[in-house]
Structures are given as C-alpha cells and as structure tokens.
Amino acid sequence: MKKLFIALVAVFALGTANAQIQDLGVRIGGGQGFGTELSAMWGMGGNRLETDLGWHSDDGFTGIELAGIYQWKGDIGSGFNWFAGVGARLAIWSYDAAGVDSDFALALAGQAGIEYNFDAIPIQLTLDIRPCFWLTPSTDFHWGDIALGIRYRF
C-alpha cells in the first residue's frame, strides 16, 4: 500500500508541474480528524486545483493526508465567488493505543463552497464542505466537515 501511495503522490505532483500557484495558506477544521491543513491553489486555465496536506498526532494516533480537488468557480459579485469540484484523498495513519494498527485510505471527494477576495490586501477567505466516499480500507460515506480557508493570493 505504501508503494501505491507514493506512486499516486508522484502522479499528482507531475499533474501540477505545469500549473501556477495562485494562493497559499491553511484550511482549518475540515480535515475529518486531520485538523488544520496546509493549502495551495494552482491555476489551471479558468479553473484551479486545490491541494491540501494535513497531519495529526494525538493520543496514540498519527496520520498524514493529501487531498487534491479540481475546482470550477464562478463570480457571485462584490468579491465573492462560488466553487465546486471533485478529486481524491489519500491518507496513511497509525494508531498505537491498544497495539499497533496502521492503514492506508483512499477516497473520492467532492467540495463546494464560497470565497471572498479582499481588494485592499492579497488575502482570500473560503468556507467549504468536502464530503467523501472512502474506498479503502472499507467503504464508507462521510459528509465532511465545514472548513475555513485563509490564504495569501499571489
């Protein structure tokens, strides 16, 4: 499973090689157990790719997650935009409370939200939800958590 994870990360990295970074910051509260995530938006024509890297370590649980969501966006007006997209989430974790338990997880993910881009300062605020359908280690649907994104716009 670790080889599959590394191969998927490599394919993901090659896919963003021609994209240009637009925004960089954090996504808070939407990691479904992975907490705050480092977040980047990559310009791809009129659309974009959001990549998030989350890490969590607490009470014997240690995990790392990578999410990539291809997004379409539209103008609402007055600095607001809507966005929606589809993508994938990859996670590896270990839980060592009652013995060693580690696993790899893969999910199909969706995302929908709104964003506000300030005119006076290069800051973007987003509010979104990211439901997902976990394919491994077992199939399970999760509605996702609402997350707040704060990013610097380049």
Taking alpha carbons only, the member of 110, 124, 121, 119 closest to residue 43 is 124
Which residues of the chain fall below pLDDT 70?
A: 1-18, 30-34, 97-100
pLDDT value of residue 67:
94
Q: Cβ neighbours of residue 98 under 8 Å, at least 6 residues apart?
A: none
Domain that holds residue 44: 2-153
For 31-62, how does the pLDDT look when each residue is reduced to its tens digit (9 = 90+)?
A: 666 678 999 999 988 899 999 998 877 777 78
Give the CATH number of the domain where residue 127 resides: 2.40.160.20
For 111-122, how does the pLDDT look when each residue is reduced to its tens digit (9 = 90+)?
A: 999 999 999 999
Taking alpha carbons only, the member of 53, 55, 47 closest to residue 68 is 53
Domains in the chain, number: 1
pTM of the complete model beyond 0.85: no
Q: Cβ neighbours of residue 26 under 8 Å, at least 6 residues apart?
A: 36, 37, 38, 39, 149, 150, 151
